[in-house]
Amino acid sequence: MQLNDQYIDRKWVVGGIFAVFILIFIIRLFFIQVADNKYSMSADSNSQRHMIQYPARGLVYDRNGILLVHNQAAYDLMVIPRQVLPFDTLLLAELLDIDVKLIRDRIYKAKIYSRYKPSIFLKQISVSRYARFQEHMFKFPGFYIQSRTLRDYPRPMAAHLLGYVGEVNDDMVKKNPYYSSGDYIGISGIEKSYEEVLRGAKGNKIFLVDVHNRIKGEFMNGALDKQAVQGLDLTTTLDAELQEYGEKLMAFKSGSIVAIEPQTGEILALVSSPTYDPKMLVGRKRSKNYSILQKDELKPLFNRALTAQYPPGSIFKIVNGLIGLQEEVINLETHFECDKSLVGCHNHPPNNGIIKAIQYSCNPYFNQVYRRVVQQGTDKNRFVDSRYGVKRWVELCQSFGLGQTLPIDVPNLSSGSIPGLKYYDKKYGKNQWAFSTIASNAIGQGEVMIVPLQMANLAAIFANSGYYIVPHIVKKIGENPTSKDEYTQRRYTGIDHKWFVPVKEAMYAVVNEAGGTARLARNDSIVICGKTGTVQNPHGEDHSVFIAFAPRENPQIALVVYVENTGFGGTWAAPIASLIIEKYLHRVVSAKSVEEKEKRIIEYTPLKK
């Protein structure tokens, strides 16, 4: 009896052990099937194939509806190594225009990644090559096509402004979960600054696959598929015909043209020369072409209009003159002799005030104006006195948008430089500098540096008699006008409106009266106002610069032309600006202008090899 009781106790112990194991198994099964979805996801991945549906990027138009950027179909060839059967490698190499070694390398890499999952075998196959390949596709089991789009440019222009698209790198993927390896993103220009608008939203299509990863049909009849959403179109402020004409005039020259509609801040043209055909940075040849452009000694990838920082030369005399008037250290009739012992100057008639000084571009006059601005007599110590003057000068210069990065909607704009107290203290030591140390700023040389876009904005400020709207390049996103406040609000300088009246009179005289330095900019049918600059270049011939606006009443265009290493501002920059103005306002250039200006400018090709 006692022996049977002993076996009964054992039975309960063994049964309890089995019960515990069964309970653990049930709990684990519940966890796998319900609580933790990674196993179900793994099972799904074995039975489903998710194919990304890439949206077409938004199109880009000019202000008049001319198409600037659109899309062309392209195709990525995908491979699933497990499904690949012996095939004719020579035929595949011929169809895809690649060599046999590359085929072997790509299949090997695909196997390393996964024998069962698809990977990209060859990117960006053109429509024509895909059409030929498609006829033979049945001969290559394990390969399939995934459609993409690439950018295309109907007109070979505005490469720096439009920018280009490239494949994301690992850092981009880490920073933004939207992107995954193989995706494309805007790298420069408005492709970059308006990336989120242009890219649209990716879609997803799910297929059922068998154990060999072969498609057997749609998953749930496509109920879980997500359609791609095309990117929004952009209407830019650019005038395509004006842009093309500007690039034509600047061919084989180094420099830039920036034209703005002064009342709105809309950029009408932005030319950087030398330039390149934007089609060079599209498709499978992009990397090779980019390397070629990058190594070119003429630096065609460098956006001079937004990135180059130059001394402004004599166009800066207007800014210093306005500051002198505002600070009441001079008045309209203040007279200074053209004393060439102070600074060199060309021969010109005597000036009797600031209007004639601007018209004749008198260096000694503005040397004296700047001296009075810097040393206003606030302290007997000239070093202390200069600190006050320079501080005030910097404040007023910055009110023109100088020495700072304007919040435009194109990336990589440089700030230029308006040197202040910290700069000079660091360079010379505190209380170790005064006007005589920094006198070159008077005529736009010295440490003052301005970007061409800022120079065009200066011209817009003069046209508007004291205010500007931040320059911008996009007019509409989809069907909606741009809504950013900075692209609609006026920014006023620290100069009273009244002082711009004589400045505009002086700029009129520069172009239209005897003794003016820009007589080559004169146009019989348009009243042009402007200011020349001849910028000293320690590395070669001087730079030619000219800012202008037109017409005199109710100006419709303001611009800068900056031509490197070509000498006097009135010789090259001024007539180019005159042609740009005529082209924009009249839509055509007169036969007289073609004969007297355009022909000469186009035939001048200092960079032609």
Residue 52 three-state SS: strand
Number of domains in the chain: 3
Q: Is the residue at 12 inside a domain?
A: no
The answer to whether the CB of 456 falls within 8 A of the CB of 258 is: yes
In the block, residue with structure tokens 């070629």: 292
The whole-number average pLDDT for the span 329-339 is 94
Statement: residue 2 has pLDDT above 90 = no
The whole-number average pLDDT for the span 247-272 is 98
218 and 306 in a common domain: no
Tell me the whole-structure pTM to 2 decimals: 0.87
Residue 441 three-state SS: helix
Residue 428 three-state SS: helix
Distance CA 254, CA 543 (A): 10
Q: Is the residue at 87 inside a domain?
A: no
What's residue 99's pLDDT? 92
Residue 447 three-state SS: coil
Q: Is the residue at 609 inside a domain?
A: no
Q: DSSP states of 219-243 as a string?
A: GGGGTT-B--BPPPPEEES--HHHH
Q: Is the residue at 418 inside a domain?
A: yes
The whole-number average pLDDT for the span 295-314 is 95
The answer to whether the CB of 306 falls within 8 A of the CB of 412 is: yes
The model's confidence at residue 486, banded by pLDDT at 50, 70 and 90, is confident
Of 220, 236, 252, the last residue of a domain is 236
In the block, residue with structure tokens 């842009």: 243
356 and 285 in a common domain: yes
416 and 359 in a common domain: yes
**Residue 395: how many CA atoms within 13 Å on its side-chain side?**
12
What's residue 450's pLDDT? 97
Q: Quick one: which of 397, 329, 386, 340 has its CA closest to 363?
A: 340
User: Where are the extended beta strands (E) located within 27-160?
Assistant: 48-53, 60-61, 67-79, 119-125, 143-152
59 and 172 in a common domain: yes
DSSP designation for 408: -
209 and 269 in a common domain: no
With the C-alpha atoms ordered 345, 346, 352, 354, is the resulting torsion angle positive or negative? negative
583 and 463 in a common domain: yes
Q: What is the mean pLDDT of the chain?
A: 90
What's residue 33's pLDDT? 55
CA distances from 343 to 32, 338, 531 (A): 86, 9, 20
Q: Is the residue at 207 inside a domain?
A: yes
461 and 415 in a common domain: yes
Residue 256 three-state SS: strand
139 and 55 in a common domain: no
Pick 205 or 473 by higher pLDDT: 473
Per cent of the chain over pLDDT 90 is 68
CATH number of the domain that residue 200 is part of? 3.90.1310.10
Q: Quick one: which of 295, 1, 54, 15 has its CA closest to 179?
A: 54
Q: Is the residue at 1 inside a domain?
A: no
Judged on CB neighbours under 10 Å (0-12, 13-18, 19+), 396 is buried
Distance CA 220, CA 458 (A): 62
What's residue 19's pLDDT? 72
What's residue 12's pLDDT? 65
CATH number of the domain that residue 590 is part of? 3.40.710.10
Statement: residue 46 has pLDDT above 60 = no
CA distances from 446 to 338, 357, 438, 454, 575 (A): 20, 20, 7, 18, 27
The letter for the amino acid at 164 is Y
Any idea which of 57-66, 175-184, 547-556 has the lowest mean pLDDT?
Answer: 175-184
The letter for the amino acid at 241 is E
What's residue 32's pLDDT? 52
The model's confidence at residue 587, banded by pLDDT at 50, 70 and 90, is very high
- Residue range 166-204, pLDDT digits in tens: 989 888 988 998 988 788 899 999 999 999 999 999 888
CA distances from 8 to 16, 192, 307 (A): 12, 80, 92
The model's confidence at residue 11, banded by pLDDT at 50, 70 and 90, is low
What's residue 39's pLDDT? 44
The model's confidence at residue 211, banded by pLDDT at 50, 70 and 90, is low
Statement: residue 38 has pLDDT above 50 = no
The model's confidence at residue 227, banded by pLDDT at 50, 70 and 90, is confident
Q: Is the residue at 21 inside a domain?
A: no
Statement: residue 223 has pLDDT above 80 = no
Statement: residue 7 has pLDDT above 50 = yes
313 and 167 in a common domain: no
397 and 466 in a common domain: yes
Q: Quick one: which of 297, 345, 340 has its CA closest to 317?
A: 345
Pick 593 or 181 by higher pLDDT: 593
The model's confidence at residue 24, banded by pLDDT at 50, 70 and 90, is confident
What's residue 42's pLDDT? 44
What's residue 49's pLDDT? 65
- Residue range 88-131, pLDDT digits in tens: 999 999 999 999 999 999 999 999 988 888 888 998 888 888 98
What's residue 249's pLDDT? 98
Distance CA 529, CA 548 (A): 5
Q: Is the residue at 18 inside a domain?
A: no
What's residue 48's pLDDT? 67
- Its domain, for residue 114, covers 93-145
User: CB 178: neighbour CB atoms within 10 A?
Assistant: 14
Judged on CB neighbours under 10 Å (0-12, 13-18, 19+), 97 is exposed
Residue 324 three-state SS: helix
Of 145, 176, 205, the last residue of a domain is 145
247 and 232 in a common domain: no
Of 217, 236, 255, the last residue of a domain is 236
Q: Quick one: which of 532, 8, 597, 474 has its CA closest to 195?
A: 474
Q: Quick one: which of 411, 400, 407, 345 has its CA closest to 163?
A: 411
Distance CA 562, CA 411 (A): 21
The answer to whether the CB of 164 falls within 8 A of the CB of 191 is: yes
181 and 127 in a common domain: no
What's residue 437's pLDDT? 94
What's residue 41's pLDDT? 41
